[in-house]
Copies of this chain bind each other. A is one copy, B any other.
């Protein structure tokens, strides 16, 4: 099975999900509140927009790199990819919940943080499952040795640790979590990716 349509469908889903984030930004002339005040009160929505835009952007870049390393796709890859998209599609929901409850603090803000972290973690887990499957099923363009396999998984396992850690931080300081994850995602996007090595011949 070729990988063209899986990429096209995934691109479509991620493009729609990232664009739907805008539906959570609102202003209204009907309320009578000055627009500048409305925009100022809307800061959690803007921050949440930035955060989720770069979280989805990061998963898109990783998806791109991962599928570039693949020579073909089997049925399990399709199923695991759907699992990944299942979480990506719910990000507009967990984002708007986070934006809505982060200001009031207390238990509600903590629940919103855990919800956001759980969706992000689901995304990270699905991604590692795809990575492990395509290495083990020999779907990548060159053989991956036992050592390199472990290294790749550990490296991406680091991603698995990041979101729970951020969630713990968010239980005490939700805004710090939001700013932190945004900055980390941007840093990662501009930095180098481990997956580029997966596609290129390794020196060993």
Contact = CB atoms under 8 A, between A and B. Distances in A.
Given A13-B15, A19-B20, A61-B78, A25 B100 contact: no
Contacts of A82: 53-54, 57, 61, 189
Nearest to A191: B75
A101 B21 contact: no
Contacts of A15: 9, 12-13, 15-16
Contact of A53 (B1, B28, B60, B89): B89
A125 interface: no
A75 B192 CA distance: 7
A11 B14 CA distance: 12
Contact of A101 (B35, B79, B112): B35
A67 B6 CA distance: 13
B189 A93 contact: no
Contacts of A86: 50, 53
Interface string A41-65: 0000000011001100100110010
A19 B16 contact: yes
8 contacts: A11-B12, A19-B20, A20-B23, A22-B92, A29-B101, A35-B108, A61-B75, A79-B190
